[in-house]
Amino acid sequence: MGQPSRRLAMTQWDVFSSKPLEGNSLAVFHDGRGLSDAEMQAIAKEMNLSETTFILPRDGGTEKERGIRVRIFTVQEELPFAGHPTLGTAFALRGQSGAKQVVLELNVGKVKVDFEDGAGQPAFGEMTQLDPTFGMRHERGAIARATGLREQDFDDSLPIQTVSTGLPYTVTPLKSLSVMRNLQIDLTRAAEYLAKTEGKFFYFVSRETMAREARLHARMLFYNGEDPATGSAAGCAAAWMVAHGVAKPEERVLIEQGVEMKRPSRIFVRASYRENHRENHRENDRETRSESRSDNRVVNVRVGGHSVEIMRGEVFL
């Protein structure tokens, strides 16, 4: 066999964890220039992780103005946005520079990641996602039929709602940890239902948690199995929590995920709430006020966590 014509430098990161072998694994290719779309997709399939990212370096002026170009692939498709690849790639780009901010240009546009460094603490990165778009609320019976769950498995005090901060998730509250632990869904029927209702995936959450300090316990099952940490969904859940009173505006809360698959992840989220004065001045219109709270008045969604580099290597093509 001759020498490979191309050697692609890559690193692998465990994202939403400060410990190796926990969190969600991510492969980052540091210079994807010259790769075709098909090659990027094939490499992502070879990596066989939830996602793989490709950094496409540009001149300094363009990067300063527009951000560092990054593309995100699952084993099956390119995504316009995803949370743990955004955070992990920002950590990879930051390296040892101590930079306070890294700005990425993704298919959804510019996403900035801010870093906090505490004495003796691992670096913490927090990405600001797109302002949320609140989609339809779903009937529990329809979701039960689409997933194979029972209606009594759902938390009936909170709505099932599709929310997007770059990628639409149907946030589905379940009533207990035992339901979460035993979660099995009909992926084919679920995908058919989601396709008809403009959701990409279900994000199952429970207010009953393993860690006392966590606000939500979460799971995300999809065509590649289960995701240990889903940062894009966590942003949607942050907006949903503020809209429906599970978290206060600006309160940074913890979502735990990946516990069942022994890849525990810690995702920290917060969001702001913007009063709509015009709506609030309409006297005695309580319905409008409550709708305004849950309908796109939530802004400044941020999702953060730690990342640890676990591997460095080269791929030969």
Catalytic residues: 51
- Exposure b/e, 82-118, CB count within 10 A at least 16 = b: bbbbbbbbbbbbbeeeeeeebbbbbebeebbbbbeee
List, in order, residues 6 or more apart from 192 with CB less than 8 Å away. 146
H helices present in 136-211, as ranges: 140-147, 177-181, 187-197
Collapsing DSSP states into helix, strand and coil, what is residue 27?
strand
* Token duo for residue 221: 């099952």
Determine the Cα–Cα distance for residues 58 and 224; give it in Å rounded to an integer: 32
Collapsing DSSP states into helix, strand and coil, what is residue 114?
strand
Total Cβ atoms within 10 A of residue 124: 16
User: Which DSSP state fits 19?
Assistant: S
Beta-ladder partners of 272: 299
Greatest pairwise CA separation for the chain in angstroms: 79
Element (H, E) at 252: none
